[in-house]
């Protein structure tokens, strides 16, 4: 009995200790989680502006950082206590870690903004509150029009420091919109800001995909009158049309030098590997009927794709070395749009349900662990993973017109990505971050 | 809206000498509100050796407000590339017209209704166009006079929803080219 009480007490201490910090000293990152919540309790202090004219800059940066960190879904934002700073001297701020600890903050971040003849400097400091330990001290510089870049550079450092994973800050989403009356390709930042039109074909442009290094954009375009593969070098804007008879549909990058797409120049629709310079290097599929929508494992050795070889479309996985093909999906009769997760363990795809809805599912690559992410919300299409695998962008007509939405990788926190006229479809989230 | 498409099974037609029959043609039994059952691999039922010499008329099966040329369109069941008896009859008329007007060329556009996912529909549209082309070529039309393209669900003829609209959008559409 005595021993039992002791064990219970010990367990209670472990469970209840509010800020059990798991500091991986000397490792790549510092894992800080408030026990049970799964989120990091962050006290983000208002940025100081030593000169009055800079207070607006500080406010803007504050909003950028706050919104950015909020978007990740990684943090619980905690208001810093009023007495967080023990003295008012700007040069030697002493933090009241006891106060931070008592409001439940595991991490404190604060800093100041200065403007030196047009160069904005953001000086940030991050502390582990329980150990009163400085985790990060860094200055981010840039021009006034780069406030988002400056703020997000800090966000990226903070997320990478605390999670050990590359963050989504600096990543892009490309997609198709018909806001001009034509289907053109656009890009925006990971959070829906900085919308930019990439094609002006006055035609139909579809299924944009960015190469993993961000140098190339590939898409299917109707500029020539028939759907063809276009590869644009984003550094010089030069666009290459892959000249083959027949049509081309829905490209997917295998790595930054090679992509695959469906071509029909040999009669049947098959998937081919194509170099970034447009040369066809290898035919990958040999089944009769439709083979479509290649999405590769991170190592490039396996390809998920859609085939109707058994009648209706299902998702298959081909081992590119052995040529062996296995069917992945058995639940649902119409499964398309596979998207291989960046961690390599899962594939997201869409099922056309009996009621006419389209829903997004994830499944492990061995076919186990089927999970439905959307439901009772119309047509939900074209899932694409964020580079950290924590989120999925998709298109949905749940509120009428098709628009882009974001959700957590388990289907949580579904919300619109951006406000823009017309429909938005076929998003692709970049693996790189600039 | 929820029209039940009758499952059509056209048995393999062993046709007269000179033609080799290939296999059965089936359309999936499907209600508009249901994901369809798997279809059997599609093949074309071969035309009889004597194509009708009946001239195309601007009305009837293959003609509607979107079809103004002498060649009539052909329509498909949901997720199907199978040519129905009416479709085959229309293609025979089209072949006959092309036979009498040998300077003309045609573009065959494959179209789909808006259901399903757009990439798959782009592929399906191409198969509809090429099925129609293949049939015409077997009737003797020179392959170089026929071009195909797919618009998938991108250029619907009727922007509405419901089986009436969808049925109009599942077609191989003929456009004359000089």
| Sign (positive or negative) of CA dihedral A356, A357, A363, A369 | negative
Residue of B91, B52, B77, B78 whose CA lies nearest to B173: B91
- Percent pLDDT > 70 in chain B is 67
Enumerate residues 6+ apart whose C-beta is below 8 A from B103.
B178
Mean model confidence pLDDT for chain B: 78
Nearest CB neighbour to A336, from listed B33, B119, B151:
B119
Q: Which of A10-24, A58-72, A96-110, A387-401 has the lowest mean pLDDT?
A: A10-24
Tell me the C-alpha distance between A389 and A385, whole Å.
6
Enumerate residues 6+ apart whose C-beta is below 8 A from A167.
A72, A155, A156, A159, A160, A388, A433
Q: How far is residue A432 CA from its own chain's centroid?
A: 10
Q: Flag whether pLDDT at A310 surpasses 80.
A: yes
More confident residue, A77 or B32: A77
| pLDDT tens-digit series, residues A9-21 | 444 444 333 333 3
| pLDDT tens-digit series, residues A122-149 | 999 999 998 889 999 999 999 999 999 9
Record: contact B118-A425, CB cut-off 8 A: yes
| pLDDT tens-digit series, residues B69-102 | 899 999 999 999 999 999 999 999 999 999 999 8
Q: What is the pLDDT of residue A374?
A: 97
- pLDDT category of residue B177 using cuts at 50, 70 and 90: confident
pTM, two decimals, is 0.85
Record: contact A311-B34, CB cut-off 8 A: no
Record: contact A306-B124, CB cut-off 8 A: no
Both tokens of residue A58?
């500080």
Enumerate residues 6+ apart whose C-beta is below 8 A from A394.
A360, A374, A380, A381, A382, A383, A384, A404, A405, A407, A427
User: What mean pLDDT comes out for the span A298-318?
Assistant: 96
Both tokens of residue B146?
């026929």
Nearest CB neighbour to A336, from listed B40, B120, B150:
B120
Q: What is the pLDDT of residue A366?
A: 96
Q: In chain B, count of helices (H) and strands (E)?
A: 3, 8
Partners of residue B120 in chain A, C-beta under 8 Å: 290, 292-293, 306, 308, 313, 336
Record: contact A311-B39, CB cut-off 8 A: yes
CB B95 within 8 A of CB B53: no
Nearest CB neighbour to B35, from listed A204, A226, A334:
A334
Q: What is the number of other CB atoms lying within 10 angstroms of the CB of residue A89? A: 9
| pLDDT tens-digit series, residues A148-203 | 999 999 999 999 999 988 899 999 999 999 999 999 999 999 999 999 999 999 99
Q: What is the pLDDT of residue A257?
A: 95
Domain with CATH 3.30.1330.60 in chain B: 74-177
Q: Which of A161-165, A216-220, A403-407, B146-150 has the lowest mean pLDDT?
A: A161-165
Residue B32: HSE in the Cβ half-sphere, 13 Å Cα cutoff: 14
Mean model confidence pLDDT for chain A: 90
Tell me the C-alpha distance between B85 and B76, whole Å.
11
| pLDDT tens-digit series, residues A241-290 | 997 888 999 999 999 999 999 999 998 999 999 999 999 999 999 999 99
Chain B nearest C-alpha distance from A350 (Å): 9
**Angle, nearest 10°, between helix axes A55-72 and A147-163?**
40
Q: How far is residue A68 CA from its own chain's centroid?
A: 13
b/e burial code for range A147-174 (CB count within 10 A of at least 16 → b): bbbbbbbbbbbbbbbbbebbbbbbbbbb
Q: What is the pLDDT of residue A21?
A: 39
Record: contact A356-B33, CB cut-off 8 A: yes
Identify the structural domains of chain A with CATH numbers, from first to last. 25-163 (3.40.50.10070), 168-429 (2.120.10.30)
Report which DSSP code applies to A130.
Answer: T
How many residues does this entry show for chain B? 178
Nearest CB neighbour to B149, from listed A225, A290, A334:
A225
B149 touches chain A (CB under 8 A): yes
∠ CA A121-A123-A126 to the nearest 5 degrees? 155
Record: contact B115-A352, CB cut-off 8 A: yes
* Residue to substitute from B107, B110, B116, B118, interface A, most A β-carbons within 10 A: B118
Answer yes or no: CATH 3.40.50.1980 is held by domain B74-177: no
b/e burial code for range A337-372 (CB count within 10 A of at least 16 → b): bbbbbbeeebbbbbbbbeeebbbbbbbebebeeeee
| pLDDT tens-digit series, residues B47-60 | 554 444 444 456 78
Residue of A120, A18, A2 whose CA lies nearest to A76: A18
Record: contact A312-B39, CB cut-off 8 A: yes
Q: What is the pLDDT of residue A36?
A: 46
Partners of residue A227 in chain B, C-beta under 8 Å: 122, 149-150
Partners of residue B26 in chain A, C-beta under 8 Å: none
- Percent pLDDT > 90 in chain A is 79
B116 touches chain A (CB under 8 A): yes
Q: Flag whether pLDDT at A418 surpasses 80.
A: yes
Chain B nearest C-alpha distance from A375 (Å): 16
Q: Which of residues 83-102 of B touch A (CB under 8 A)?
A: none
Q: What is the pLDDT of residue B84?
A: 96
Q: What is the number of other CB atoms lying within 10 angstroms of the CB of residue B31? A: 14
Chain B nearest C-alpha distance from A272 (Å): 15
Dihedrals phi, psi of A145, to nearest 5 degrees: -80, 5
- pLDDT category of residue A32 using cuts at 50, 70 and 90: low
Q: Flag whether pLDDT at A86 surpasses 80.
A: no
| pLDDT tens-digit series, residues A338-365 | 999 999 999 999 999 988 899 999 999 9
What sections of chain B are H helices per DSSP? 85-100, 118-138, 163-169
């Amino acid at each position: 009995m005595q021993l039992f009480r002791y064990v219970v007490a010990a367990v209670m201490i472990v469970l209840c200790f509010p800020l059990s910090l798991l500091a991986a000293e000397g490792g790549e990152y510092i894992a800080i989680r408030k026990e049970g919540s799964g989120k990091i309790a962050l006290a983000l202090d208002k940025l100081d502006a030593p000169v009055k004219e800079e207070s607006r800059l500080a406010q803007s940066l504050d909003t950028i950082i706050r919104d950015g960190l909020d978007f990740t879904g990684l943090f619980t934002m905690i208001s810093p206590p009023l007495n967080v700073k023990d003295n008012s001297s700007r040069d030697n701020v002493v933090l009241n870690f006891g106060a931070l600890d008592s409001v439940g903050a595991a991490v404190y971040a604060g800093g100041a903004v200065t403007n030196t003849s047009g160069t904005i400097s953001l000086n940030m400091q991050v502390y582990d509150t329980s150990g009163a330990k400085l985790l990060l001290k860094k200055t981010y510089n840039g021009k006034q029009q780069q406030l988002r870049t400056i703020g997000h550079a800090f966000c990226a450092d903070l997320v990478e420091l605390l999670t050990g994973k590359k963050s989504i800050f600096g990543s892009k989403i490309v997609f198709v919109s018909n806001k001009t009356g034509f289907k053109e390709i656009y890009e925006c930042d990971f959070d829906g800001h900085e919308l930019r039109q990439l094609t002006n074909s006055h035609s139909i442009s579809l299924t944009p995909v960015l190469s993993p290094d961000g140098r190339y954009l590939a898409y299917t375009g109707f500029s020539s009158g028939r759907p063809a593969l276009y590869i644009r070098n984003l550094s010089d804007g030069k666009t290459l049309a892959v000249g083959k008879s027949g049509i081309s549909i829905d490209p997917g990058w295998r790595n930054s030098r090679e992509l695959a797409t469906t071509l029909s120049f040999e009669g049947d629709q098959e998937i081919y590997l194509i170099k970034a310079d447009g040369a066809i290097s290898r035919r990958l599929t040999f089944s009769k009927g439709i083979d479509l929508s290649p999405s590769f494992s991170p190592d490039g050795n396996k390809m998920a794709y859609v085939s109707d070889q058994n009648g209706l479309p299902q998702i298959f996985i081909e081992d590119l070395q052995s040529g062996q093909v296995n069917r992945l999906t058995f639940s649902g009769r119409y499964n398309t749009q596979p998207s291989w997760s960046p961690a390599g363990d899962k594939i997201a795809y869409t099922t056309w349900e009996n009621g006419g809805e389209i829903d997004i599912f994830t499944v492990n690559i061995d076919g186990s662990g089927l999970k439905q992410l959307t439901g009772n919300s119309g047509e939900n299409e074209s899932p694409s993973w964020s580079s950290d695998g924590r989120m999925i962008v998709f298109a949905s007509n749940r509120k009428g017109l098709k628009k882009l939405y974001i959700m957590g990788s388990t289907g949580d926190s579904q919300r619109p990505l951006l406000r823009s006229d017309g429909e938005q479809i076929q998003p692709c989230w970049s693996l790189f971050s600039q | 809206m929820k029209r039940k498409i009758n499952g059509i099974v056209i048995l393999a037609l062993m046709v007269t000498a000179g033609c080799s029959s290939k296999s059965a043609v089936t359309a999936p039994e499907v209600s508009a509100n249901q994901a369809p059952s798997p279809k059997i691999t599609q093949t074309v039922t071969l035309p009889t050796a004597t194509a009708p010499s009946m001239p195309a008329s601007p009305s009837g099966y293959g003609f509607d407000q979107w079809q103004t040329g002498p060649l009539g369109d052909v329509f498909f069941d949901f997720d199907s590339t199978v040519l129905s008896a009416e479709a085959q009859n229309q293609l025979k008329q089209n072949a006959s017209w092309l036979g009498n007007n040998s300077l003309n060329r045609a573009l065959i556009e494959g179209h789909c209704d808006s259901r399903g996912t757009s990439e798959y529909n782009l592929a399906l549209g191409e198969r509809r166009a090429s099925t129609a082309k293949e049939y015409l070529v077997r009737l003797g039309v020179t392959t170089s006079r026929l071009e195909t393209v797919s618009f998938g669900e991108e250029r619907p003829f009727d922007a509405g929803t419901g089986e009436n609209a969808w049925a109009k959008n599942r077609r191989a559409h003929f456009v004359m080219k000089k």
